[in-house]
Amino acid sequence: MADQIPQLFGTRYVCVFLFLSGMIDTVSTVTHYSVPEEMEEGSVVANLATDLGLDVKTLKGRKMRVDVVGNKKYIDINKDTGELFILERIDRELLCPLKTSTSCFLKLDATIENPIRMFNIEVEITDINDNAPHFRRGTMHLDISESSPVGERFSLNNAADPDVGTNSVNNYHLSSSEHFALEIQTGRDGSKFADLILKKALDREQQAVHNLILTAVDGGVPTRTGTASIIVRVLDVNDNAPSFDKDKYIIDVMENSPIGSLVIQLNATDLDEGSNSDIIYSYSLYTSERTQQVFNLNPENGEIRVKEMINYEDFKLYEMEVIASDKGPNSLTGQCKLTIQVADMNDNHPEISIKSFQSPIKENIELDTVIAVVSVSDKDSGDNGVVDLHIPDNMPFKLRESSDNYYELVVSEPLDRERVPEYDITFTVTDRGSPPLSDNETMTLELLDVNDNVPQFPQSFYTIRVEENNAPGALLSSPTAFDPDLHENQYLVYFILEREIANTSMSMLFSINPENGNLYALKTFDYEIEKEFLFHIEARDSGSPPLSSNVTVHIIIVDQNDNAPVIVSPWRAHGSVVEEKIPRSTDKGSLVSKVIALDTDSVHNSRITYQFLQVTDATLFSLDQYNGEIRTMRMFSYRDPRHQRLVVVAKDNGQPALSATVTIKLSTVETAVKAYSDMTEVPLEYDIFSDLNLYLVIGLGSVSFLLLITILVTIVIKCQKPKPSKAAPPCRNSVISEGNSTIADSTLVSNDAYWYSMFLAETRKGKMVVRQPVPKGSRYIVSSLPRGTGLTDTSGSAASTLQVQITAHFNITKSFKYWPSFNKGYLFAVWNHVVLFFSCSLCFASHTFWLECFFVR
């Protein structure tokens, strides 16, 4: 209701009209205000202080208050502003419930002190249209006889509206109706009421109830309405006779119908109501006594039921006539005829008999094998005696008719016990009667297991990581298999398939529990010796014959940091100090030495870093932490000591880290010999073995070897008895390998018992030292290469000059016997000239070499 106030007055706070009868300083002074009802709480009524001429600043001090006379305190005063405001929402209909007067006042007393003054205030509460008309009864019931004359008047209940004046009920409206109209009248007090007028005759059989809507409308703006339902029930008179749905009924009844079974329920209807529509059923005089003996008619509801057993062979047809009478003052009747036909009944169930049934059977039974014989029968005749036998469709069996009413159950699909261990086979026999009768019998067929499933591993490949230095007998994994068979066919035994690695059987390295497949290590593994193992585990069941499957197991030995780095360059004998000599005139950035350490652990653990542990002068030398090169940071001065002591530590990347140290004693010497480069500074006594001289020595040896080959070839040609050549077996310690050839200018053998992988060591004298692994029990080959030769060039390059010469010599010699079209003597002469040319060249080089040695000395 409060939401209508802005619509009526246009603003949130309604205009207040002030009526002042006078401002006098007596108690009898009355101040009048007028406000609409339903104003929101906190809305301002008027500024009382201004209207009374009071100082707003003194209101609190003078304790001004407002009291409501005889009502709740709907209005209060704001002592800060002197404004009267709505304290609680005002409902005029609640405040002034009696409608004897259109005026409604709220009386207030305002009191102030110092001096004490009282003011009488009257606030008129004006009405707004906040209530809709409503009927005391929401539904009005009227009973009107269908024989009532047109124009008859019926009084209706008035609507009430708590509002006053134009906001109260002003008019009534009736919903559309062809039988009724509305007439509105005004009372002495101005109230409106309505009468219902019948304008068209009623017919209860056409419409027994009329539903009307009466609407009351008030005169407010906007208008409000209230509605009530008028239900007019038309009272009946007996003007309609009973009637059946049909005039004639034909009914089929099965023989042997049980006594009391319903044949038909007749339904006669009377459009009237009450006692005029109550119907009684009875046989007419035309119905025979035999019919009345076999069938019973219920006079109240018209049901015809079987009274005696019906036999098709006695009577095939019954006829009767039934009368329906109402209970009105002037009884009216209706009748119908019935013909009851007796039909033959399928009253015998088919029978099923299991003659033979074989259970259990093996799951690998052959197809079309007979496992059961079944016979069926039915005592009825005709279609009622014809029977059909079937089994469920989702089974691996089928029925095969062998003779009249005999069937064989055979296997139609392969059986699998692991998928379905047993079958509940239901034989269902059904006749062709109407309705069909059936019977069934269920047999359980069990399947016996055969060993037809191989053990299955959940994985086809197992990768097992084992840390080195493991304890013997440690459990590595449990690669178990599963066999869906039963009993002994599913009992599995596990084996390790024998395989030798380096003359060692797998059974000496690993053990497997034959019952549960637990895999154990029998020894402690060393990553540096054995990095991985690959073998197979077999799971075999205990069936007959046994079935098995295997799985590949890949054992990966995980490295631990159990090997300390080994200093391999500069080489020293069992911890002795390495002594090096360098010129004092060495430039800044010159290579002094290079420390190389090797770690046989894995790549991560074998990553080496270098650092100085002790150094005589930290400003003189620098050490590369990654490649171990020691270089000068500045030139030597006269103040620097003659001897420098460097202690280098090489640490690996393991956790915890392992290390090795080498002590290098550097001595500076005064020399006038000019260094060839910052990479090559050799002592004077070592210059005779420079790269050029070393190549000359190798060349002399090669020419001597070629001369020897030439002599042998000459002897072979002269003898003219060529024999098939056999390839010489490769030497175990051969410098020239079959895969990657490495030709060294000098070779020496070390008796070091430790096995190293191939590594390169660069010495201060510009050489590359190569150590290659050889079979167990042999010594190492240590080769010195020029500094400019890299690891890739050395290991992946083609054969050296010497190898090319040897290979060419053998190929030319071997091809002599395959070239019959050439003059062998001519070729031999050419070959001798070539050898002579190389011999002369090498003699000249040798002469130069010895002259150089002489002058150098």
pLDDT reported for residue 396: 93
Q: Which residues pair with 512 in a beta bridge?
A: 519
Assign 444 a pLDDT band (cuts: 50, 70, 90): very high
State whether 101 and 162 are in the same domain.
no
Mean pLDDT (whole number) for 419-426? 91
State whether 599 and 626 are in the same domain.
yes
pLDDT reported for residue 680: 39
Mean pLDDT (whole number) for 508-525? 90
Assign 230 a pLDDT band (cuts: 50, 70, 90): very high
Mean pLDDT (whole number) for 588-614? 86
> Among 219, 235, 251, where does a domain finish?
235
Q: What is the pLDDT of residues 557-588, one digit of tens each?
A: 888 888 888 888 887 766 668 888 888 888 88
State whether 465 and 392 are in the same domain.
no
- Answer with the residue of higher pLDDT: 828 or 669: 669
Q: Answer whether residue 79 is part of any domain.
A: yes
**Quick check: 302 pLDDT over 90?**
yes
Percentage of the chain modeled with pLDDT above 70? 76
State whether 571 and 540 are in the same domain.
no
State whether 570 and 661 are in the same domain.
yes
Domain count, the chain: 6
Question: CA 164, CA 37: separation in Å to the nearest integer?
Answer: 13
How buried is 650 (Cβ within 10 angstroms: 0-12 exposed, 13-18 middle, 19+ buried)?
A: buried
Q: Answer whether residue 638 is part of any domain.
A: yes
Which residue range(s) make up the domain with 543? 461-558
CATH number at residue 211: 2.60.40.60
Q: What is the pLDDT of residues 651-672, one digit of tens each?
A: 988 888 888 888 888 888 886 4
Assign 277 a pLDDT band (cuts: 50, 70, 90): confident
Mean pLDDT (whole number) for 188-192? 77
**What's the Cα-to-Cα distance from 338 to each of 125, 178, 246, 248, 254, rounded to whole Å?**
82, 44, 10, 6, 16
Q: What is the pLDDT of residues 351-362, one digit of tens each?
A: 999 989 998 998
- Answer with the residue of higher pLDDT: 115 or 803: 115
Q: What is the pLDDT of residues 671-704, one digit of tens each?
A: 644 433 344 333 433 344 445 556 667 877 887 8
Question: CA 22, CA 442: separation in Å to the nearest integer?
Answer: 112
State whether 466 and 505 are in the same domain.
yes
Non-local CB neighbours of 146 within 8 Å, separated by 6+ positions: 201, 202, 203, 204, 234, 235, 236, 237
State whether 339 and 355 are in the same domain.
no
State whether 205 and 257 are in the same domain.
no
Among 481-490, 496-505, 741-750, whose mean pLDDT is lowest?
741-750
Give the side-chain half-sphere CA count within 13 A for 200: 9
276 CB neighbour count, 10 Å cutoff: 21
State whether 546 and 492 are in the same domain.
yes
Q: Answer whether residue 27 is part of any domain.
A: no
Question: CA 321, CA 334: separation in Å to the nearest integer?
Answer: 11
Q: Answer whether residue 524 is part of any domain.
A: yes
pLDDT reported for residue 674: 43
State whether 97 and 68 are in the same domain.
yes
> For residue 534, which of 513, 554, 557, 515 has the smallest C-alpha distance?
554
**Quick check: 534 pLDDT over 60?**
yes
**Quick check: 224 pLDDT over 90?**
no
Assign 294 a pLDDT band (cuts: 50, 70, 90): very high
Question: CA 142, CA 650: separation in Å to the nearest integer?
Answer: 118
pLDDT reported for residue 180: 92
* Tokens at 678, concatenated: 């910052």
> Among 295, 324, 343, where does a domain finish?
343
**Three-state secondary structure along 173-231?**
EECCCCCEEEEEEECCCCCEEEEEEECCCCCCCCCCEEEEEEEEEECCCCCCEEEEEEE
Q: Answer whether residue 540 is part of any domain.
A: yes
> Among 235, 264, 296, where does a domain finish?
235
Assign 219 a pLDDT band (cuts: 50, 70, 90): confident
State whether 259 and 332 are in the same domain.
yes
Angle at 652 between CA 647 and CA 654, to 5 degrees: 145
State whether 155 and 211 are in the same domain.
yes
- Answer with the residue of higher pLDDT: 813 or 421: 421
Q: Answer whether residue 447 is part of any domain.
A: no
Assign 461 a pLDDT band (cuts: 50, 70, 90): very high
Query: Which DSSP state fits 331?
Result: -
Q: Answer whether residue 67 is part of any domain.
A: yes
Mean pLDDT (whole number) for 728-738? 32
Q: Work out whether strand 159-160 and strand 117-126 pair parallel, antiparallel, or are unpaired.
A: unpaired
Average predicted confidence (pLDDT) for the chain? 76
Question: With left for phi above 0 and alpha for psi between -120 and 50, is residue 739 left, alpha or beta?
Answer: alpha
**What's the Cα-to-Cα distance from 276 to each of 247, 307, 329, rounded to whole Å?**
22, 31, 8
Q: Answer whether residue 178 is part of any domain.
A: yes
pLDDT reported for residue 841: 62
Strands, sheet with 17-20, edge to edge from the N-terminal-most edge strand: 17-20, 30-36, 117-126, 105-112, 65-68
